Amino acid sequence: AQKVTQAQTEISVVEKEDVTLDCVYETRDTTYYLFWYKQPPSGELVFLIRRNSFDEQNEISGRYSWNFQKSTSSFNFTITASQVVDSAVYFCAFCPPNTGNQFYFGTGTSLTVIP
């Protein structure tokens, strides 16, 4: 069975601090996809990144970076120099390869950036 764990329920940081959001997943599949989504207070879900299990290169996009470690089944997300607009709930999601019909979401991490 697939499972995604986001152990951090809530995080508060002061503006300009760096923050890392953890995501750990469980699967028996050797190929799969991982995602991060942002849910700001307005409620919509915004796609941030997709990573397939073959590609363990870390990725950086502006202030965002992702660290994928297949050996530890983790896909962590770091925001550098956080800003108030980063305040949101962040969800990690897993998609298995065979059915590909559904994403398995973690319970989310609520990030508050204090000005």
Q: Under the rule (CB under 8 A), what is the footprint of other proteins?
A: 4, 6, 32-33, 35, 37, 42-47, 50, 52, 91, 93, 95-97, 99-108
**Minimum distance, C-beta of residue 16 to other proteins, in the bound complex (Å):** 28
Beta carbon nearer to other proteins, 71 or 101? 101
Asked if 83 and 36 count as a contact pair (C-beta separation under 8 A), the reply is no
Beta carbon nearer to other proteins, 41 or 115? 41
Q: Which residues make beta-bridge pairs with 68?
A: 75
| Residue of 87, 78, 80, 77 whose CA lies nearest to 113 | 87
Give the DSSP per-residue string, 61-89: ETTEEEEEEGGGTEEEEEESS--GGG-EE
**Minimum distance, C-beta of residue 92 to other proteins, in the bound complex (Å):** 9
Beta carbon nearer to other proteins, 54 or 71? 54
